[in-house]
Structure 1
Amino acid sequence: MLGVFFLIVLFFLLNQVIFGVYSHRHSFFEKKKLNLLYLYHIIFYGVYSWYAYNNPSDSKRYFKVISSHTGGWFDLFGTDTHFINFFSYPFYQIGFSYDMLMVTFAWFGYLGFVYAYMFFREKIPVKVKVFRNIDLFSLILFLPNMHFWTASLGKGSAIFLGLMMFTYAIIKPKSRIILLILGSIIIYYIRPHVFMFVAIGTVLGYMSGKEKLPFWQKALVFISLGGALILVQDQILAVMNLQDSENIIADFQEQSEERAEDLSRSGSGVDMSSYPIAFKLFTFWFRPLFIDAPNFLGIITSFENLIYLLLFIKILKKDFIKFIRRSPAIVKMSFVIFISTSFAMTFVMSNLGIIMRQKSMVMYFLFFVIYYYLAQKKYTRIKRLKKLREQRIKEMEVAV
């Protein structure tokens, strides 16, 4: 317990160093808010630790693997689960206990929120209120389910860091190239198929965004990410055992049905095989919703899913398609990543417990699209009112 307390203090001090660097780069940086977010996230480390000690948890399995490993460090290297074992093993070797590893990965998850904060604030300076008088950005940052699944030893915290690091870096790829590469590596080695969706979304966003980007920048993004996809295509296909497939679409459907059937056998399984695609997506994005909550955690998650649903309803407007067509590259990128990942996940997710955990990877991309859409509408409204006010002043001056 003393080691955990030491790490919590150490990470707090490291945060101040990181904040000092980024506060010089971004005038909007709010140290007080991010320190509060750190304390909030640490609470969820405690909540998840209690949960893990009283329920089956992947974090125990990771620690059991590395604590019983007798080979070399690079014997653990690989993608998916293997990468978490590989990444956590050096910490165990220097004396980290299970609880110390849990708080370390919780910190990685917290850093994901720091990069998400900078990503949102850098691209959306306009404040937006929802549900009468709630600040949308603060609501997004403090959603409990997002913190719960990113506060423990496992893939959730690490890939969230990789995704948000990548997204922040892609805004200015030239000056943030190290972060871009590091984020890409984390995403790829934890979930190769998610890296594919991120790469596709980034390329499509850059190619179709409304900004007049220089040709070399578009070419750099296309060649870099396109080349990376070609180089790692076998590893990506291996996630679904399709590396030797001659008919990828047909074999993907078959593998998806098998995985869905396996997942649906668990206690919180739902048979999604006969669902129309719209209801599959609804299930992935917004369930459980009270009546189908599998446990107490599911009931708490249902409240958050209701917030997701109410926020989603805000973009179900006639002008949303027009907004997406005319939106900048980063918005289109976020939209494509969210939609493509959601489509893929709906074919293999048939367990509400896994759905609650997996969707935490991509919900921030939806939140960014919603926030940008609402902020742009507010900005347009403010400009229109300002123009009307100026016109009235001119009319009054003429009348006098």
Structure 2
Amino acid sequence: MNLSFRHALFAYHLVFTLIFFGYIVNYGGDALGYWTLQADSSQGAETWIEYFGLSTFFIQWLNYIPSKIFQLPFWAGNLIYGMLTAFAWLKLYSYVVKQFPDIPILALKTIFLLPNMHFWTAGVGKESLIWICLVLFFVHMSFDKKSLAIMCLSIVGMFLIRPIYASFLIFILCFWGLMHSPYARKYTYGAITILLGILVLALRQTLLAAHLPDLSWNSLQTYLDFQMQFLGGYQANSYIPMEKYSFSLALFTFYFRPFPWEGDGIWLFMAGVENILGCLLFVTAVVLSLKEKFWDNKYILVYGMLFLILLSILGSQVLNNFGIILRYKSVAMIFLYLWAINTVFSVLKLILAKHFTK
């Protein structure tokens, strides 16, 4: 039965590859530019090596051979990305099934079929590559040499795609190592010192990419204001005045909006339904967790949620468009859903156990 669901999950994800392809062809998007190597031509690159760089330059470099050398069409590129990310979904599902026996399998399957996460990780784009790196990082959180090597490679990949996310992962790796390392302190502290040095370099690269002279509050505020004005200038249908929101409302908006009635079109409506379900699930989990003083310390929950929190703090301050918010959070909301559903069913199990032992 579990094997048949794995097949269904794989096929389900590829359906979203088809939907993603149709959406980009009809409405446009960065994905087509990534595949045709025209999303950012400021390098003036002509050869494969000249295309190499960070962020958009990297994804264009990655697409150079299949797109320009093999002349594969855009639909084929989406199929390649979709199949790679489908395997990442299967890997995460297999891991979660083993790690969370208290979650009813039907509830777990439902979480893995929520549409927004699949849509944005199903085709040519940075989110697909980010998704693969995140899955490899979090399912290999272990101190054996192979797992540590995979985690480090995931960080390298993330740095090439989105340096600020790599900074988040390096911070998480440092904190995780400090809290759980089985090695002698001198080795642990030495490794963390090296990682902190790499973190400084990653942050420096992030500053350069954002054209920030330093990490002062004035520089950050100037950048945030510019980012909001830049996105606000498009005045898209899904524009929201995030710059006018309080910090808490901006965070809530990042996590749980749009609601079904706040957007135009079937896609924003479906995303809104998913947001309401996620919000209700999260609130229920928080109430039950506080009531029973329950907290699950599994690595993928604690550190996956930490990544999402860091992402949400950043996103809530620089994004003001529902469509972009849905895309940015798509790679990490699975951690909130897993935490919430695991908390709900674990606490219910504790409550029932107390009831029947009275």
> Scaled by the length of structure 1, what TM-score is found?
0.79
Which of 11, 14, 18 is the aligned partner of 1:46? 18
For residues 128 and 250 of structure 1, the distance between their equivalents in structure 2, rounded to whole angstroms, comes to 49
For residues 73 and 379 of structure 1, the distance between their equivalents in structure 2, rounded to whole angstroms, comes to 56
User: What's the offset of the Cα at 1:255?
Assistant: 0.4
SS at match of 1:96: coil
Q: 1:98 to 1:330 in 2, by over 3 A?
A: closer
Q: Which runs of 5+ in 2 are unaligned?
A: none
Paired position in structure 2 for 1:183: 154
For residues 142 and 99 of structure 2, the distance between their equivalents in structure 1, rounded to whole angstroms, comes to 9
Paired position in structure 1 for 2:34: 62
Paired position in structure 2 for 1:315: 285
Q: 1:227 to 1:365 in 2, by over 3 A?
A: farther
For residues 227 and 149 of structure 1, the distance between their equivalents in structure 2, rounded to whole angstroms, comes to 33
For residues 82 and 152 of structure 2, the distance between their equivalents in structure 1, rounded to whole angstroms, comes to 22
For residues 385 and 231 of structure 1, the distance between their equivalents in structure 2, rounded to whole angstroms, comes to 54
Aligned-pair identity in percent equals 23
Q: Is 1:141 the equivalent of 2:112?
A: yes
For residues 191 and 285 of structure 2, the distance between their equivalents in structure 1, rounded to whole angstroms, comes to 29
Which of 256, 266, 275 is the aligned partner of 1:296? 266
Checking the alignment, whether the CA contact within 8 Å between 2:121 and 2:331 is kept in structure 1 is no
User: What's the offset of the Cα at 1:219?
Assistant: 4.4
Paired position in structure 1 for 2:239: 269
Paired position in structure 2 for 1:201: 172
Q: How many residues align?
A: 350
Paired position in structure 1 for 2:101: 125
Checking the alignment, whether the CA contact within 8 Å between 2:285 and 2:341 is kept in structure 1 is no
Paired position in structure 2 for 1:83: 58
Checking the alignment, whether the CA contact within 8 Å between 1:42 and 1:151 is kept in structure 2 is yes
SS at match of 2:285: coil
Q: 1:56 to 1:99 in 2, by over 3 A?
A: same
What is the 5 A alignment of 1:162-181? 162-181=133-152
Paired position in structure 2 for 1:249: 217
Paired position in structure 2 for 1:361: 331
Q: Is 1:346 the equivalent of 2:322?
A: no
Cα deviation digits, residues 112-135 of structure 1 (max 9, x gap) = 212321342343222247xxxxx3
For residues 47 and 119 of structure 1, the distance between their equivalents in structure 2, rounded to whole angstroms, comes to 27
One-letter code aligned to 2:250: K
For residues 37 and 172 of structure 1, the distance between their equivalents in structure 2, rounded to whole angstroms, comes to 30
Paired position in structure 1 for 2:78: 102
User: What's the offset of the Cα at 1:34?
Assistant: 1.6
Instruction: Select the structure of larger CA radius of gyration.
Output: 1
Q: Is 1:370 the equivalent of 2:340?
A: yes
Q: 1:173 to 1:285 in 2, by over 3 A?
A: farther
User: What's the offset of the Cα at 1:66?
Assistant: 6.3
Q: Is 1:160 the equivalent of 2:134?
A: no
Larger mean Cα displacement after TM superposition, 227-236 or 215-224: 215-224
Checking the alignment, whether the CA contact within 8 Å between 2:141 and 2:299 is kept in structure 1 is no
Checking the alignment, whether the CA contact within 8 Å between 2:66 and 2:72 is kept in structure 1 is yes
Paired position in structure 2 for 1:25: none
User: What's the offset of the Cα at 1:160?
Assistant: 0.6
Checking the alignment, whether the CA contact within 8 Å between 1:76 and 1:86 is kept in structure 2 is yes
User: What's the offset of the Cα at 1:265?
Assistant: 2.6
SS at match of 2:32: helix
Aligned-residue Cα RMSD (Å) equals: 2.8
User: What's the offset of the Cα at 1:282?
Assistant: 1.2
For residues 352 and 85 of structure 1, the distance between their equivalents in structure 2, rounded to whole angstroms, comes to 26
Checking the alignment, whether the CA contact within 8 Å between 1:45 and 1:148 is kept in structure 2 is yes
Paired position in structure 2 for 1:393: none
For residues 189 and 347 of structure 2, the distance between their equivalents in structure 1, rounded to whole angstroms, comes to 32
Larger mean Cα displacement after TM superposition, 103-112 or 118-127: 118-127
For residues 172 and 371 of structure 1, the distance between their equivalents in structure 2, rounded to whole angstroms, comes to 27
Checking the alignment, whether the CA contact within 8 Å between 2:231 and 2:320 is kept in structure 1 is yes
Q: 1:190 to 1:298 in 2, by over 3 A?
A: same
